[in-house]
Structure 1
């Protein structure tokens, strides 16, 4: 049986929370007809959460053996952020002299942050980030479209 500092049901709950919260971010992008939608956001968040939990497992596994072999968990977060940034950058394109996809790239990056928060077990932070991101994407998106772009 797999032995970890995080109980199996807690792992499952963290992964489900990561996927579920990212679903909300992806749904907003999906409804706007963007290429990176539900599945993309959910997979990014799920993967980020899994990598963080693997890092936690490695951290505790190496702590039991040789203390000099301990890993720095911030390096795992750094790697996840870098990888997700690469995915987000891939969603930004230049078309007919204008740049498109910046909000989608930012939402993918935010989905990764939600996944990291879920992976460390900070579901309150993950929920707040999701709520604020949705407010920014939906409410401020409408404001930007109706008020700023109409001028």
Structure 2
């Protein structure tokens, strides 16, 4: 009975650690939140427990037979990649979700540590993961300005080019620029797709004010 309670505590510790990391991702409005991280940590701990203790009766009835207790747990490392890949979005020159995928991978490792009764390691890894997600962003966030894709339309090409020049001259770096003309019931509309990144100390959301200031601009998508 004591052993069963010990295993339950391992699952609870793993779930708690995963939830703490998931709350950070939830706060950042990411696709993988506290429920996903909770389940990843819990499942990883469960796989570790099954790998260690799930075959004791079988081994006891087969003298001389030995199994590698790490084989099931090892599959978590590769299997979590499928979940992580689902959080990554690649569109044109934009990549989203890499940090969340990495946090899921780290959470799986924390779950394995908790399942192996390594509570101190699991707790320390949780704190270090939060350190990487929040503290490093606080100090070095300016070095990793994110790229943003903007799709907007205007009734004429001159308005699109003017907005492009304003964005280029207002502390933004235009990484890619594409314009196409589309026919609509109201006439010809010029649709622009830009990938931009803020420079220096410029605020990343200032481009929204620039777009809204022009009544001829219609913002269709911001990624």
Q: TM-score, normalised by structure 1?
A: 0.88
Q: Confirm or deny: 8 A CA contact 1:93 1:99 kept in the other structure.
A: yes
SS at match of 1:99: strand
SS at match of 2:70: helix
List aligned pairs for 1:1-150, cutoff 5 A.
7-67=3-63, 69-149=65-145
RMSD: 1.8
Q: State how far apart, in whole Å, the 2-side matches of 1:67 and 1:139 are.
A: 53
Q: Which of 1 and 2 has greater Rg? A: 2
Which deviates the most, 59-68 or 6-15? Answer: 59-68
Q: Confirm or deny: 8 A CA contact 1:62 1:69 kept in the other structure.
A: no
Q: Confirm or deny: 8 A CA contact 1:49 1:117 kept in the other structure.
A: yes
Q: State how far apart, in whole Å, the 2-side matches of 1:101 and 1:108 are.
A: 11
Q: Which ranges of structure 2 fall in alignment gaps of 5 or more residues?
A: 146-198, 201-223
More strand by share: 2
Which structure has more relative contact order (CA 8 Å, sep 6+)? It is: 1
Which deviates the most, 84-93 or 33-42? Answer: 84-93
Q: State how far apart, in whole Å, the 1-side matches of 2:110 and 2:63 are.
A: 30
Which deviates the most, 9-18 or 67-76? Answer: 67-76
Q: State how far apart, in whole Å, the 2-side matches of 1:47 and 1:25 are.
A: 15
Task: Report the equivalent of 2:148.
Answer: none
More helix by share: 1
Q: State how far apart, in whole Å, the 2-side matches of 1:68 and 1:47 are.
A: 31
Q: TM-score, normalised by structure 2?
A: 0.61
Shift of 1:67: 4.5
Shift of 1:58: 2.6
Q: State how far apart, in whole Å, the 1-side matches of 2:48 and 2:76 are.
A: 8
Shift of 1:69: 4.1
Q: Report how many residues are paired.
A: 147
Q: Confirm or deny: 8 A CA contact 1:59 1:70 kept in the other structure.
A: no
